Amino acid sequence: MAIECATQFLDEIKSKGFRIEYRTYNAFIAAFGKHGQLKMAFQLADEMAEVGFIPNEDTYASLLIACQSEKNAGFKYAIEIWRRMLAFDIKPTPFHFGLLLNIACHCGLGSSESMHNLLFPPLPQQFLIDEEEAKDKEQQKISSTSSELSSEWWQDPDDIRKGHVLSNHLRPFSDANILKPNMSYEQPNLIHLRMPSSSAERLMLLGGIPGVLKHMQECNVVPNHIIFNTLLNLIPSVTEHEQALIHVSNVCEVKPNIQFYNVLILRRFRRGAKQEALQVLDLMREQC
């Protein structure tokens, strides 16, 4: 009912030739976003930019909220929105980070093809070779086609001239570069692409907890209870990971709250770690 009213109101404004103001666009995007109308929210954001308005932090928050309704590919859309937000030099807030992590917890990246295009722009086919083979080929003349290779985002000048990538150049994601516009890695990151099957694996695409906190620091954002409560839902249900998160929260001077401890107790009971769950009560008495 609410969506029908909002759609009717929007159509009426346009049919009468009224100019939609900045705040009105944001209000409509928020309304459609909160009711899961992802496509309409995106269309309004594009329309907003076309008429000369630059989306602000409220606009992007509403778009991220809309992504939460797309369980299959919401995380993919959220990454694209985040990149655009940074490209417009709009600084994320703790609220934006909380939304992003919540989307990583509950939403996927869509198809393997869409995930690949998100991580790696279309590239000329390259070959992975051994170090010894590369040394042998070093003595050979570089062909004209190799010299004409354009510089790709994951290659260094030597690789451009050689026209190949060395196998010892591979390394895992270590930060949240995936969120940055025109993301750039000095070296390739993946040999085989596999769709993340859990929230913990999607968190690793953001560089894990260190990568998220590093990106927050780059954006001058201080983590709060919402961030750590959401991170608890993202990490594997293993005591070592949970203890590490508590340690990191203490380092960041964010004391875990009641909600954090309640979720922690529930996680431990669900995996049959009754004694560890009861230990959380002692921890609560000490810190709460």
Give this prediction's pTM: 0.75
For residue 228, the model assigns a pLDDT of 96
Tens of pLDDT, residue by residue over 236-260, are: 999 999 999 999 999 999 999 999 9
Residue position matching structure tokens 């990538």:
165
Residue position matching structure tokens 């807030």:
93
Please state, in angstroms and as integers, the Cα–Cα distance from residue 10 to each residue in 15, 47, 217, following that order: 9, 13, 39
Average pLDDT over residues 163-188: 51
Q: What's the rounded Cα separation, in Å, for the pair 87 and 43?
A: 19
3-state secondary structure of 181: coil
Could you tell me how far CA 177 lies from the centroid of its own chain?
9
Q: Which helix (H) or strand (E) holds 2?
A: helix 2-15
Average pLDDT over residues 259-269: 95
Q: What's the rounded Cα separation, in Å, for the pair 168 and 131?
A: 8
Token pair listed for 122: 């279309």
CB 185 within 8 A of CB 156: no
- Model confidence at 130, pLDDT cuts 50, 70, 90, reads very low
Residues 6+ apart with CB under 8 A from 161: 142, 146, 147
Q: Between residues 160 and 255, which one has the greater pLDDT?
A: 255
Angle, helices 22-34 vs 2-15, to 10°: value is: 150
Per the structure, the complete domain to which residue 285 belongs is given by 222-288
Average pLDDT over residues 13-18: 85
Does any domain span residue 248?
yes
Does any domain span residue 268?
yes
Does any domain span residue 237?
yes
- Model confidence at 85, pLDDT cuts 50, 70, 90, reads very high
Q: Tell how many helices (H) and how many strands (E) occur in the chain.
A: 16, 2
Does any domain span residue 271?
yes
Does any domain span residue 56?
no
Average pLDDT over residues 65-69: 90
Average pLDDT over residues 71-91: 92
Does any domain span residue 67?
no
Answer positive or negative: Cα dihedral of 211, 212, 213, 214. positive
What is the total count of domains within the chain?
1
The count of residues in the chain is: 288
Q: Which amino acid is at 117?
A: N
b/e per residue, 128-156, with b = 16+ CB within 10 A? eeeeeebeeeeeeeeeeeeeebeebebbe
Residue position matching structure tokens 């919540």:
102
- Looking at every residue in the chain, the average pLDDT score rounds to 78
Does any domain span residue 94?
no
For residue 146, the model assigns a pLDDT of 33
DSSP 222-259: ---HHHHHHHHHHS-S-HHHHHHHHHHHHHTT----HH
Does any domain span residue 274?
yes
